[in-house]
Chain A
Amino acid sequence: DAGVTQSPTHLIKTRGQQVTLRCSPKSGHDTVSWYQQALGQGPQFIFQYYEEEERQRGNFPDRFSGHQFPNYSSELNVNALLLGDSALYLCASSPAGQNEKLFFGSGTQLSVL
């Protein structure tokens, strides 16, 4: 049983560019959450998707957007990248009815130069 998979594993972008990160949830999971983890910090909640809709959003600007597809996979898009967006972006999936129980992927390390 494959766990949560994320792609790409590493990404380098320049300031002002746009980026799309992808996530496939664990089999049987229907909810996907995205977190940002800065170096030396705990993960910070960006948003959660369920039934292809954004169900809750953390304290992140509108430059951060997402999407969930019918197969439960998800994308995170970040526009107008800033240097401060450099971080590890983590996707987590949750089983039906337990949306707080998170199973994380290995993340995408984004570097903005």
Chain B
Amino acid sequence: GENVEQHPSTLSVQEGDSAVIKCTYSDSASNYFPWYKQELGKGPQLIIDIRSNVGEKKDQRIAVTLNKTAKHFSLHITETQPEDSAVYFCAASSGGGATNKLIFGTGTLLAVQP
């Protein structure tokens, strides 16, 4: 069935270092890949997304890369700051057509040490 695997489950970095989170999806028809940041007691917040016709997208310190052949996509955060500490979720669209649900990964707890 539809599945998104996410690694690592926890990641600890020093402030200023880079962080990379990787995801693999199973549905070949997936064409939309968002990343969400969830802070304690809050709902997930969309931070960046990419569509299948693009290989890379960047927004300030955040970038996402997509390899459709390998069904891999990754989140890169550069110059990490303590406020980047949160749980990050990747997701892939599934279903296609008029309705697209998102299949989420299991999350990565990122801790940025000052």
Task: Show the binding face of A for B, using Cβ within 8 Å.
Answer: 4, 33, 40-45, 48, 50, 55-56, 58, 90, 92, 99-107
Check if A33 sits within 8 Å of B101, measured CB to CB. Answer: yes
**5 smallest beta-carbon distances between A and B, as pairs:** A42-B104, A100-B100, A104-B43, A56-B99, A45-B101
User: How many Å lie between the Cα of A43 and that of B107 in the bound state?
Assistant: 10
User: How many Å lie between the Cα of A111 and that of B101 in the bound state?
Assistant: 26
Known: A101-B46, A102-B34. A42 touches B106 (CB 8 A): yes
- Give chain A's interface secondary structure class: loop
**Smallest distance from the beta carbon of B49 to chain A beta carbons, Å?**
7
Q: How many A-B residue pairs have CB under 8 A?
A: 62
- CB contacts under 8 Å to A, within B35-67, are 36, 41-46, 49
- CB contacts under 8 Å to A, within B62-108, are 89, 91, 93, 95, 98-107
**Nearest neighbor of B32 in chain A, beta-carbon distance:** A100
What are 21 contact pairs spanning A and B, CB under 8 A?
Answer: A33-B101, A40-B107, A41-B106, A42-B4, A42-B105, A43-B104, A48-B99, A50-B99, A56-B99, A56-B101, A58-B101, A90-B44, A92-B43, A99-B98, A99-B99, A101-B49, A102-B46, A104-B43, A104-B44, A105-B43, A106-B42
